[in-house]
Structure 1
């Protein structure tokens, strides 16, 4: 038989103190978590991923694929909402004005965030101060292409012809303020040649008229132009990436044909409204980064001609600021106006 000895008031007090201390030690990490703990967001609420372009483009298709995986990882639904118009600035303005609570995101590209603000005058949003960078999705190189029956065999041939006939040769783009237009403008500034810019409502019709030789050339997204180059319907004169493309090993880079500082790649990225809490931005960065490593996403990106990037919010912010300054100078030096 075991005999229990009644504890004294002092013993009971000491025991309670020890239990309280142990409990505080266990609960301490929970009590000191940030106000935005993992369970507080998204709390099952729907997240809207705004794409400022029509459905079907690479930004939309890849964004939907990534959004689906991010929703699964967060235990909620992420829906894609296409708010197209005004070179992507309508969707950007919508997100900039949204509550900074992590439930509205912008899946966009270089145009609305680094080019259009310098070309279109005053916009209803600040492309830098109005957003929190989240993550870079990927980059798309471009190919300078001409129709197969055009006489130009090299970039030098094209530039020489343009100088001999100032303002006669035309280049196509997917619209005013797009990166496709900016490359044509940069080519003029670096060579002194004068071209006519012909904007279209999207990259596809611009490419179709280049194929039909209604215009002399264009800077086309690699994935869109590549099948036509391989089929002999377009001739590739140069690529805008830093290195030659594996799919076009004999086509030189713009740098190799004498164009300095002509590494141009169209990036896709995700932004949140300014003042979105850092904890939410970091969680989004983490989950989107994981999605970019998914084999299914990688396979889709390869088909779309997108090189997946990822990285930190700071790296995206630095990329945006650098490109914004670059294209602001091109626009100012060329006295380029929205047409």
Structure 2
């Protein structure tokens, strides 16, 4: 072998070793500067509120500011692409959900990012269900009342949702399938206008999250008929589950978690995962989340990523069965 070849090999080995050692040192010191947590939805919703709660906990644990940055658009795909293209160094995190990581893959034909593969799961956050609600002046006082009316006049009853393919839409579609009824879908661009029309009596019913529904229920403006969770919620113990109402096939829970670019170093992910595990199980966090019907999932690192990948085909079928049309 020529001296030139030997020199070339030595240079490559030296550079590679130096880069590896630098990476180890950086991971060991991590973090040394502020971290950005990208939320792919508008400020003020359940995702934003959860993220800010977790960001405060992470900031205290890591000794660096964790800044929440809202990047809404395309049902979360804008934020997902932004983080997937960010440096894989642990300084750009992503708040992902069953929607961004799984359901969206069935809703967008020409998506420029596959979040289930280009983003790596760090740690799960919370699972949450939706509540089937009617206006308090509605004649429907139970799931049985809704099913009876829907079978007598297929398509006459309608339901609002925050948009095609959202959990508020898919939960209603699951209910239709489980009960063998036909409802008319009225999609809105977000939860707020949908809720406004439910309160105004323009639509018959809606699935929504406890966080936004509870204040209206306590004010006597909405009536809860059932929850799509596997068990009753502590914050509304008198409201039955869909299974208790006779339709176990209508159960549907969403979930959330923290993600990073796929090539983020293992030890950085491990550090983040460890702190997120503590944060999601902190008594003040679990109590705060329980008040809005959300509960920690407890999946870390590779187990969480495996769970996310297993959810992709499940949510694809849920979307397809709902009749939602890909964009």
- Counterparts of 1:160-239 in structure 2, within 5 Å, are 160-239=148-227
2:294 alignment partner in structure 1: 306
Task: Provide the secondary structure at the position in 1 that maps to 2:134.
Answer: strand
Task: Provide the secondary structure at the position in 2 that maps to 1:95.
Answer: helix
Is the Cα contact below 8 Å between 1:115 and 1:179 reproduced in 2? no
**Residues in 1 aligned to 2:286 and 2:269: alpha-carbon distance in whole angstroms:** 23
5+ long unaligned stretches in structure 1 = 1-32
1:65 alignment partner in structure 2: 53
2:136 alignment partner in structure 1: 148
- Counterparts of 1:92-103 in structure 2, within 5 Å, are 92-103=80-91
- Counterparts of 1:24-103 in structure 2, within 5 Å, are 36-37=24-25, 40-103=28-91
Residue 237 of structure 2 is aligned to residue 249 of structure 1: yes
Deviation, 1:296, is 4.0
Is the Cα contact below 8 Å between 2:106 and 2:326 reproduced in 1? no
**Residues in 2 aligned to 1:61 and 1:212: alpha-carbon distance in whole angstroms:** 26
Deviation, 1:271, is 0.7
Residue 319 of structure 2 is aligned to residue 331 of structure 1: yes
5+ long unaligned stretches in structure 2 = 1-20
Residue 92 of structure 2 is aligned to residue 104 of structure 1: yes
**Residues in 1 aligned to 2:98 and 2:238: alpha-carbon distance in whole angstroms:** 28
Flag the structure with larger Rg: 1
Which sits farther off after the overlay, 101-110 or 320-329? 320-329
1:132 alignment partner in structure 2: 120
Residue 286 of structure 2 is aligned to residue 280 of structure 1: no
Instruction: Give 1 or 2: higher helix fraction.
Output: 2
Is the Cα contact below 8 Å between 1:108 and 1:270 reproduced in 2? yes
Alpha-carbon deviations, 1:61-94, whole Å to 9, x = none?
A: 2212222331332232221111001111110111
**Residues in 1 aligned to 2:286 and 2:176: alpha-carbon distance in whole angstroms:** 36
Choose which of 134, 138, 146 in structure 2 pairs with 1:158: 146
Is the Cα contact below 8 Å between 2:277 and 2:300 reproduced in 1? no
Alpha-carbon deviations, 1:5-36, whole Å to 9, x = none?
A: xxxxxxxxxxxxxxxxxxxxxxxxxxxx9953
**Residues in 2 aligned to 1:69 and 1:293: alpha-carbon distance in whole angstroms:** 11
Is the Cα contact below 8 Å between 1:42 and 1:76 reproduced in 2? no
- Could you say what the CA RMSD is over the residues aligned between the two structures, in angstroms? 2.4
